[in-house]
Amino acid sequence: MTTRLPKKDVVIIGLGWTGSIMANELTGEGLEVVAIERGPWRDAPTDFPPTYMQDELRYRVRHELFLRPEQLTFTFRNKMDQTALPIRSWGAFMPPNGVGGGGVHWNAEMWRFLPSDFVLKTHLTERYGASFLPDDMTIQDWGITYDELEPFYDRFEYLCGTSGTAGNLRGQIMEGGNPFEGSRSRPYPTPAQAQPFSHTLFGKAARELGYKPFPQPSGNLSQAYTNPLGMKMGPCTYCGFCEWFGCSNYSKASPQTTILPYLVRKPNFTARDNSEVIRINLDRSGKRATGVTFVDTSGETWEQPADLVILSAYTLFNVQLLLHSKIGRPYDPVAGTGTVGRNYTHQTISTVNGFFDPKKFNFNPFIASGAIGMCIDEFNGDNFDHGPHGFVGGGYMGQVQTGARPIESTLVPPGTPKWGAAWKSAVKENYLSTVKPGTGVHGSFYAYKDIYLDLDPTYSDRFGRPLMRITMDLKENELKQNRFLTDKFAEIIKAMGASKLDVQYRKGPYDITTYQTTHLNGGAVMGSDPTTSVINRYLQSWDVPNLFVLGASAFPQNAGYNPTLTVGALAFWAATAIRTKYLKSPGRLVDA
């Protein structure tokens, strides 16, 4: 039995980063908005208070704040001729769940993409010629430029209070910032965070090698900040329990700290938690969404009618809901037709651990924040000549160590036994003098013909719907890119004074069991051509114009940066298009 609820102007699927931004923008227009969130309401006093939040076993190892695969998971294979098997427990990535989405437990590393990233296909073809790109690579331009997005990058940074040092202020290169970044209209809202010892050493070593190191832009705030909505955030205390954890301190930018307390007080906003949307409903023409159907945790089914549907459920769930709702044409890599599920990508991550002489170095590595770090950008995007190297893409790299929680951060130098007396004494000896950058090399991941999402023929979820199938591998281009970047990174760690290095290249095949990042992209990409994109440049569905799809599912391929600043900027950009264009005359904003 389905209970039909009174109609709203807008229904939002998922109250994470993008859902919160959109809810706030559209309630600002006077619309009646309801947001439906799969997981529970979450806040600092209840879910991650300072009395017991610092619990590595609970939050990191058993990942308390995340979705349970029992509720929903995916199947995975490397190649099209393999049988995909279900991801029974999370590994390569960790899907968020609950109000605030990934914003609750992200690091808050807040990067802008390069101007050339948005016109990638055009840029690379012009510079290197089309034959430089692998045959099966399906990269494309975004249909939007950096300059168009800049004001919205700025808005998201000022919403979050982002701490950083500008590198390019209105076209002028600034000392101490990232000289490769696109021009920004304003400095960062707050100055960069202070840096612990090892991060500072990385900066020094990089400078001496001729690079231009700069502090990583951070949503862990260097000082108190009041955002444009009047939300007040406190300074980060470098507690070292940031990513995987919620911030008890109101210092990490999240929907909870930057939007929700303001949004909830608006009379035209309602949220429903513990309610999973299972379908976007269409009218008989199939061209108009009529609302959504959701099931709450007691098993009851509800229908929420609405004039406008915002799909903001995170990359994988966005694509999965489009497939289950039969919106758009599923991608078929053999026939080369369809778009939904096409150009799925991840991030090419690797690291180098450095072991230093404990008599000379004490890093107090537990003192850090989620987005701390000194980085260089010389090897990102097309900031260097790829001609001699035979690959495209790149990434930033840096000492971005976020703490030293001991279950994960008790490393021993290569060659040490993994257990026993020798292991134990090596752990004791090295803990305070080891550099463990984590995602030290943060490389791009470009799109390929046979890396995609579709529905699995065998496995199903608790409603009997097919699971979504991930076909994903690391291609030679990404592996080459990673070898090149990791070697450069190792040189810097060595120059810091490390006596031993543990160089951990990213190797193929893609492994679903080891965590890389939760930067999943594509599958419902934006663009200017409906035969190669699911949504137009305003994130509006080509097929169902009263549906907008937010999130990194829109990325045609992934750049060598973390996604969320771009994801948030695109949400503001889409909201502005809805406010200024769509509401005046609801319908397609771009002619197909």
Partner 1 sequence: MKRDSQFEFCRRQLLLAGAAYFVLGASHSGATVIYDHLPWTPNAGNPPPPATLGPWHFFTGDEGRTVEALADRIIPPDPDTPGGKDSGCAVFLDRQLAGPYGRQDGLYLRPPFLKGARNQGHQSDKGPAQQYREALAALTKSCRAKFGGKAFSDLSDADKDRVLEDLEKGKLELDGADGKAFFDQLVKDLQTGFFADPIYGGNRDMVAWKMIGYPGARYNYLDWINRHNEKFPLPPVSLTGRAEWTRAER
Active site residues per annotation: 519
Give the shortest CB-429-to-ligand FAD separation in angstroms: 30
Which one of ligand FAD, ligand SF4, partner 1, none interacts with residue 559, CB within 5 to 8 A by kind? none
CA–CA gap between residue 461 and residue 388 (Å, rounded): 48
**DSSP code of 30?**
T
Among 286, 336, 390, 406, contact with partner 1 (rule: CB under 8 A): 406
- The answer to whether 431 contacts partner 1 (rule: CB under 8 A) is yes
- Our CB check for partner 1 shows the closer of 452 and 484 to be 452
Alpha-carbon distance values, 96 to 10, 147, 511, 573 (Å): 23, 31, 20, 24
- The answer to whether 275 contacts partner 1 (rule: CB under 8 A) is yes
Task: Determine phi and psi for 578, rounding to 5 degrees.
Answer: -65, -45
| Binding residues vs ligand FAD (CB under 6 A) | 13-19, 36-39, 94, 96-98, 101-103, 105-109, 243-244, 276-277, 312-314, 317, 321, 371, 518-519, 551-552, 562-565, 567
**Per CB under 8 A, which of residues 208..237 are in contact with partner 1?**
235, 237
Which one of partner 1, ligand FAD, ligand SF4, none interacts with residue 314, CB within 5 to 8 A by kind? ligand FAD
Where does residue 321 rank: exposed (0-12), middle (13-18), buried (19+ CB within 10 A)? buried
- Our CB check for ligand SF4 shows the closer of 213 and 370 to be 370
CA–CA gap between residue 70 and residue 17 (Å, rounded): 24
- For the chain, the C-alpha Rg in angstroms (whole number) is 23
Chain-centroid distance of CA 445 in Å reads: 13
Which one of partner 1, ligand FAD, ligand SF4, none interacts with residue 220, CB within 5 to 8 A by kind? ligand SF4
The SS3 of residue 135 is coil
Give the shortest CB-18-to-ligand FAD separation in angstroms: 3
Among 30, 70, 337, 531, contact with partner 1 (rule: CB under 8 A): 70
Give the shortest CB-479-to-partner 1 separation in angstroms: 15
Which one of partner 1, ligand FAD, ligand SF4, none interacts with residue 13, CB within 5 to 8 A by kind? ligand FAD
Which one of ligand FAD, partner 1, ligand SF4, none interacts with residue 106, CB within 5 to 8 A by kind? ligand FAD
User: 334 is written with which tokens?
Assistant: 């053999």
Q: Please name the residue that has the structure tokens 């806040």.
A: 43
Which one of ligand SF4, partner 1, ligand FAD, none interacts with residue 105, CB within 5 to 8 A by kind? ligand FAD
On the CB side of 110, CA atoms within 13 Å amount to: 32
Pairing state of beta strands 452-460 and 214-215? unpaired
Which one of ligand FAD, partner 1, ligand SF4, none interacts with residue 420, CB within 5 to 8 A by kind? partner 1
Sign of CA dihedral 564, 102, 33, 320: positive
| Binding residues vs ligand SF4 (CB under 6 A) | 220, 236-239, 241-242, 245, 247, 249, 251-252, 369-370
Where does residue 387 rank: exposed (0-12), middle (13-18), buried (19+ CB within 10 A)? exposed
- The answer to whether 238 contacts partner 1 (rule: CB under 8 A) is yes
- The answer to whether 43 contacts partner 1 (rule: CB under 8 A) is yes
Report whether the peptide linkage leading into residue 406 is cis, meaning its omega lies within 30 degrees of zero. no
CA–CA gap between residue 251 and residue 257 (Å, rounded): 8
Give the shortest CB-101-to-ligand FAD separation in angstroms: 2
Number of residues located near partner 1, criterion CB under 8 A: 100
- Our CB check for ligand SF4 shows the closer of 369 and 536 to be 369
- Nearest residue to 186 via CA among 163, 205, 168, 211: 168
Q: Which residues pair with 375 in a beta bridge?
A: 214, 398
